[in-house]
């Protein structure tokens, strides 16, 4: 007969272990709180990293063609890029401002047509009694509640100041990253054991090629989308063509959903102009999406970001959930970088397994 004896075990935790565990929990909580508080600054840093990666090929090209010092090459590339955007601004901003002013002047006519059930938006009054609903909301909550005008002037002022500060900060961060980025990378490699440096240099190069190729390619595709949309709208005589083209270029930066949202907005404006223009614009966006998905993106991303459509979709959804539009933009290069690290880890693991395997033994 086997008798089982239950032994009572006492688990004794040292005070040092308990304090270390509590300190770890507090440190993690503090780090998460700091990240949450500085999320806007971290967003600026992320944007600056992407811009620096996009400009770095130009810096390297200048260094290969006569500009020997990296500081001079980085400054020249930065100033040329800044000059390009300033030229674009002087070229398009007056037209953009004129179109916005024109829209503001025509807005009362649109409102008049809606309230009297006329025009292409007249159905809002005839079917949904838009004017009566607005008047009821004004009586119940006041105009400030309906239009959201409470503190509008202060909010707009804060937004403008924040945008200016963000743009200036991102510009200087990008310049400093172009100047000091390679030095920081070399310092990181120097901390590694000498025999591991070639491996991680290769990983770093592959990540740079993936992220830099994606950023540059995404910017190029967005410019193509904005310019082609502007040209189509100008040919059709649709108003606000430059402003809408700029909107398409910005929204096209967002993977998957950006181009669709742009097509809907521009299509609505085109339909308000004329039924024929609306149909042509919708057909244009359908054809352009096929061109972008099957020609432009494979050519631009084929040699850099080699991800399956499913991984792209999952990455964008997770990135958008975590950090909104910025998360969606960073999702694909982040997934590509993780793929590079995972591929290197699998290759290194397989190589170690072959080395550790005794001679004459074949795995089945």
Q: How far is residue 124's CA from residue 133's CA, in Å, rounded to a whole number?
A: 11
Residue 171: phi and psi, rounded to 5, are -60, -45
Residues 6 or more apart whose CB falls under 8 angstroms from that of 314 comprise: none
Handedness of CA 306, 250, 84, 184 (dihedral sign): negative
Six token digits for residue 163: 């945008």
Handedness of CA 112, 118, 122, 123 (dihedral sign): positive
- Count CB atoms within 10 A of the CB of residue 5: 4
Six token digits for residue 21: 């565990």
Q: How far is residue 295's CA from residue 255's CA, in Å, rounded to a whole number?
A: 16
Residues 6 or more apart whose CB falls under 8 angstroms from that of 214 comprise: 301, 304, 305, 332, 333, 336
User: Is residue 319 helix, strand or coil?
Assistant: helix
What pLDDT, on the 0 to 100 scale, is given for residue 287? 92
Burial 94-125 (b: 16+ CB within 10 A, else e): eebeebeeeeeeeeeeeeebbbebeebeeebb
What pLDDT, on the 0 to 100 scale, is given for residue 269? 84
Q: How far is residue 79's CA from residue 175's CA, in Å, rounded to a whole number?
A: 10
Apex 296 CA angle, 45 and 65, nearest 5? 60
What pLDDT, on the 0 to 100 scale, is given for residue 67? 82
Contacts of 326-332 with C-beta under 8 Å, sequence gap 24+, read 326/43, 326/46, 326/47, 328/254, 328/255, 328/256, 328/257, 329/50, 329/218, 329/253, 329/254, 329/255, 330/46, 330/50, 331/255, 332/214, 332/255, 332/305, 332/307
What pLDDT, on the 0 to 100 scale, is given for residue 235? 92
Q: 135: closest CA among 144, 143, 127? A: 143
What pLDDT, on the 0 to 100 scale, is given for residue 272? 80
Residue 243 Cα to chain centre, angstroms: 20
Place of tokens 């339909």: 271
What pLDDT, on the 0 to 100 scale, is given for residue 257? 73
Six token digits for residue 164: 């200016």
What pLDDT, on the 0 to 100 scale, is given for residue 47? 80
Per-residue pLDDT of the chain (364 residues; tens, 9 = 90+): 444 544 445 455 677 777 888 888 998 999 888 888 887 888 888 888 878 877 888 888 888 888 888 888 888 988 888 887 777 777 666 766 676 666 666 666 666 665 665 555 555 555 555 555 655 554 555 444 444 444 555 565 776 777 778 888 888 888 888 888 888 888 888 888 888 888 888 888 888 888 877 877 888 888 899 999 999 999 998 887 887 888 888 888 877 677 888 888 888 888 888 888 889 999 999 998 888 877 777 776 666 677 776 777 788 788 777 767 777 777 888 888 888 888 888 887 777 777 766 655 555 4
């Amino acid at each position: 007969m086997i008798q089982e004896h239950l032994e009572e075990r006492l688990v004794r935790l040292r005070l040092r272990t308990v304090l270390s565990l509590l300190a770890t929990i507090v440190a993690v909580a503090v780090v998460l709180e700091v990240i949450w508080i500085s999320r806007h600054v971290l967003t600026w840093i992320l944007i600056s990293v992407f811009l620096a990666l996009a400009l770095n090929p130009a810096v390297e090209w200048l260094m290969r063609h006569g500009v020997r010092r990296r500081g001079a090459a980085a400054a020249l590339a930065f100033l040329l890029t800044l000059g390009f955007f300033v030229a674009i601004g002087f070229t398009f901003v007056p037209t953009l401002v004129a179109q916005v002013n024109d829209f503001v002047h025509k807005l009362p006519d649109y409102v008049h047509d809606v309230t009297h059930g006329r025009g292409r938006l007249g159905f809002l009054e005839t079917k949904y009694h838009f004017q009566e609903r607005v008047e009821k909301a004004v009586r119940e909550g006041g105009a400030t509640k309906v239009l959201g005008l409470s503190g509008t002037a202060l909010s707009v002022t804060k937004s403008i100041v924040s945008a200016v500060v963000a743009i200036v900060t991102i510009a200087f961060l990008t310049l400093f990253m172009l100047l000091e980025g390679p030095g920081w990378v070399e310092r990181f490699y120097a901390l590694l054991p000498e025999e591991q440096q070639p491996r991680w240099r290769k990983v770093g190069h592959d990540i740079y090629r993936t992220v830099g190729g994606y950023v540059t390619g995404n910017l190029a595709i967005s410019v193509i989308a904005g310019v082609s949309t502007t040209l189509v709208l100008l040919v059709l005589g649709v108003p606000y063509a430059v402003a809408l083209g700029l909107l398409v270029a910005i929204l096209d930066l967002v993977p998957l959903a950006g181009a669709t949202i742009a097509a809907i907005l521009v299509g609505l404006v085109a339909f308000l102009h004329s039924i024929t223009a609306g149909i042509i614009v919708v057909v244009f966006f359908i054809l352009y999406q096929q061109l972008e998905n099957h020609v432009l993106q494979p050519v631009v991303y084929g040699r850099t970001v080699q991800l399956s459509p499913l991984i792209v979709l999952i990455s964008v959804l997770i990135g958008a959930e975590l950090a909104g539009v910025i998360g969606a933009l960073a999702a694909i290069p982040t997934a590509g970088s993780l793929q590079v690290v995972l591929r290197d880890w699998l290759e290194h693991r397989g190589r170690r397994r072959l080395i550790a395997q005794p001679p004459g033994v074949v795995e089945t």
